[in-house]
Amino acid sequence: MSLTRLIAGHIRGHWRPYAASALMLSTIAILTVWIPRQVGHVVDALVAHRIAGWDLLRELGLLVLAGLVIYLLRVGWRLALYRTAYELGRQLRTRLYAQLTRQGPTFFHAQRTGDLMALATNDVDAIEMAAGEALLAAFDGSLTLMLVLAMMTLGIDWRLGLAALIPFPLMAYAFWRISNHVHVASADSLKRFSSLNQQVQDSLAGVRTVRALGLVGRSRAQFSELAQEAGTATFQAQRWEAMFEPAVGLSLTAATVIALGVGAWLVGTNVISIGQLTAFTMYLGQLIWPMFAAGWVLSLLERGRAAWSRLHPVLEAPPGLVDTGTRDVPAQADIAWDSIDFHYPGMSRPALRDIQLALAPGRTLGIVGATGSGKSTLLRLLLRQYEPNVGTVRVGGLAAPEIRLEALRRALAWVPQEPFLFSASVAENIALARPEATREQIMEMAELAAVHDDIAQLPQGYDTLVGERGVTLSGGQRQRVAIARALLAGAPVLLLDDALSAVDSGTETQILDHWRALRLRHPERSLVVVSHRLSAVMEADEVVVLREGRIVERGRHEDLLALGGWYASQWRYQQLEASLDAA
């Protein structure tokens, strides 16, 4: 879809305010061309001594009234038009947000956060201007131009009108050349702003790392360089836009010189009167707005085209996962990975191979293995962040694609190793999935996650703001707040994706003991624990060991110790490490 089709569709859906604006602009244009003609009649009447006293005041009053009406109508069309243009911006931002929420990890791997934020701000603003001020400026300028030219050529003298138009083809050529440069410069300006936006986002998100590594000076230098490049690109675009004004000024100056020369000859030969020449020169002055409008419109349209060329591919990008499901998750659903093979997009090496695994309701599954063995990938397939290349993930006997995506994810409370906390209070972060939860319910889940005592020591307790991404909390505190959030959600399946890695073994034991106590009240709830620390899975009903995407060992804790494989050797190593730490 082109920018023209986008704007045309928006006009069809909001034709009433556009029609009202067009009607007001038409009235403005008619009054605008009437004023010079009326002034010419008054001048001729004064020269001929045909008007004086109250008649003169009446004519002048009509001119003042016309000016007042023009002022009110200009306010009116702006109110009607800009409200509609802002509605287009709202729709585009809503579409963009909805599109981003439908995308999977693959999409975001190929996009930068700063670019996406720039699309929702600067780029949408440019499209708003193209659909609003540019469109009506084009209508107003074109209508005024036609009426003024008609009055100059038909209402006064066609020879004088044609003579005054001689410089205008050269101005049109200049506008064409300048608009091409404006398009290129505007696209570069938007791109540079995106890069600057990305630098700010990265620096603020990683401010602790930047400070810890002593990179503050280098970060400032990079920002300064990007800011300079963005400023230079914006200045370059503005410089080309500024070229419209000299082109208009030179053309109108030449037209005025020609008109005065030819007009003086016509007055001398009594073809036109002095009043008509006065009106003609006023009409030439009124051509300033249509000429400036042409340059302004071209500039806004080129900016809008450049912005739409960046925004449109994102809006039209196919969703990472198509939600075609129609079923809900059964109340007590088993989970199965049925003959799963999977490799990440662009990777030749498989992440999972021939996975056959099941979890009955109310049971606990432990998943362990070396880094990169595919532990987290199992959970991502269950969450439908990715689709398996071979095999099927089943929930309650249904293939995952048969289940509504929202229903599937509501049934799975996922706590990743690096949980995301919003810039809100601790209580609001815990109650994210259940904003109606009472403070008592929030505190109960915080106690189960062994984080209540930590929260109580914060300056405002549960009302303490945690900052961007929970920056004011430690890694262990963020993980436990995320666990409390997952517990409060009340989902039938809890997924802990190495979510206890930042807590000590004593706190880990406390959390798992609390989970077992909670499951006595809700025996249907299941738990999947992905962990590099084997103590976290020793009470699981089944433990699987992954190596290079395959299940190489499986059984209960005691069975795996007796097997004497990777699990047994890793258990002995971790026990030795724990005893040395205790000593």
Give residue-wise pLDDT tens across range 451-466.
888 888 888 888 988 8
Predicted pLDDT at 207: 65
Task: Kindly give, in sequence order, each residue whose CB lies less than 8 Å from that of residue 161, ignoring residues fewer than 6 positions away.
Answer: 149, 152, 153
End-to-end CA distance of the chain: 69
Overall average pLDDT of the 274-302 stretch: 73
Whether residue 232 is predicted with pLDDT greater than 70 in this model: the reply is yes
Domains of the chain by start residue, with CATH: 3-316 (1.20.1560.10), 335-582 (3.40.50.300)
Task: State the average pLDDT over residues 338-352.
Answer: 87
The structure tokens listed for 318 are: 């196919």
pLDDT band at residue 212, thresholds of 50, 70 and 90? low
Q: What is the pLDDT of residues 322-339, one digit of tens each?
A: 778 888 887 777 899 998
Give the lowest-confidence range in 52-66, 152-166, 205-219, 494-508.
205-219
Helix (H, G, I), strand (E, B) or coil at 483: helix
Give the per-residue pLDDT at 96. Answer: 87
Nearest to 382 by CA among 526, 576, 556, 561: 526
Q: Which of 468, 549, 474, 463 is nearest to 507 (CA)?
A: 474
**Quick check: 396 pLDDT over 90?**
no
Report, as an integer, the average pLDDT of 502-522: 80
Q: Between the CA of residue 305 and those of 76, 79, 423, 451, what are the distances in Å? A: 28, 24, 35, 52
459 is written with which tokens? Answer: 């300056």
The closest of 560, 543, 545 to 364, measured between CA atoms, is 543
CA distances from 534 to 159, 377, 380, 452 (A): 96, 19, 21, 25
**pLDDT of the residue at 555:** 92
SS3 of residue 556 by DSSP = coil
pLDDT at 542: 92
Q: What is the DSSP letter of 501?
A: T
- Compute the distance between CA of residue 245 and CA of residue 396 in angstroms, rounded to an integer: 70
For residue 11, report the phi and psi dihedrals to the nearest 5 degrees: -65, -40
Task: Name, in order, each residue with C-beta under 8 angstroms of 430's C-beta and a sequence gap of 6 or more.
Answer: 437, 442, 445, 446, 462, 481, 484, 485, 488
Return the ∠ at Cα 437 (arms to 433 and 442), rounded to 5°.
90
Grouping H, G, I as helix, E, B as strand and the rest as coil, residue 352 is strand
> Residue 566's pLDDT band (boundaries 50, 70, 90)?
very high
Rounded to whole angstroms, the Cα distance separating 578 from 458 reads 30
Structural element, H or E, at residue 336: strand 335-342
CB atoms within 10 A of CB 141: 22
Worst-scoring range by mean pLDDT, 377-381, 411-415, 497-501?
497-501
| Integer Cα distance of 21 and 27 in angstroms | 10
Q: How confident is the model at residue 583 (pLDDT cuts 50, 70, 90)?
A: low
Nearest one of 326, 364, 163 to 258, comparing CA atoms: 163
Three-state DSSP class for residue 554? strand
pLDDT band at 194 (very low <50, low <70, confident <90, very high): confident
Q: What is the DSSP letter of 327?
A: B
Q: Is pLDDT larger for residue 211 or for residue 539?
A: 539
φ and ψ of 167, to 5 deg: -75, -15
pTM of the entire predicted model: 0.68
- Sequence-distant (6+) residues with CB within 8 A of 185 are 233, 236, 237, 239, 240
| Separation CA 100–CA 506 (nearest Å) | 40
pLDDT classification of 434: cutoffs 50, 70, 90: confident
Mean pLDDT to the nearest integer, 416-424: 84
Looking at per-residue pLDDT, the higher value among 136 and 462 belongs to 462
**Beta partners for residue 338, in sequence order:** 392
- pLDDT above 80 (res 141): no
Q: How sure is the predictor about 229, in pLDDT bands with cuts at 50, 70 and 90? A: confident
Classify 544 as helix, strand or coil: strand
User: What integer pLDDT is reported at residue 311 of this predicted model?
Assistant: 87
How does the average pLDDT of the chain come out, rounded?
81
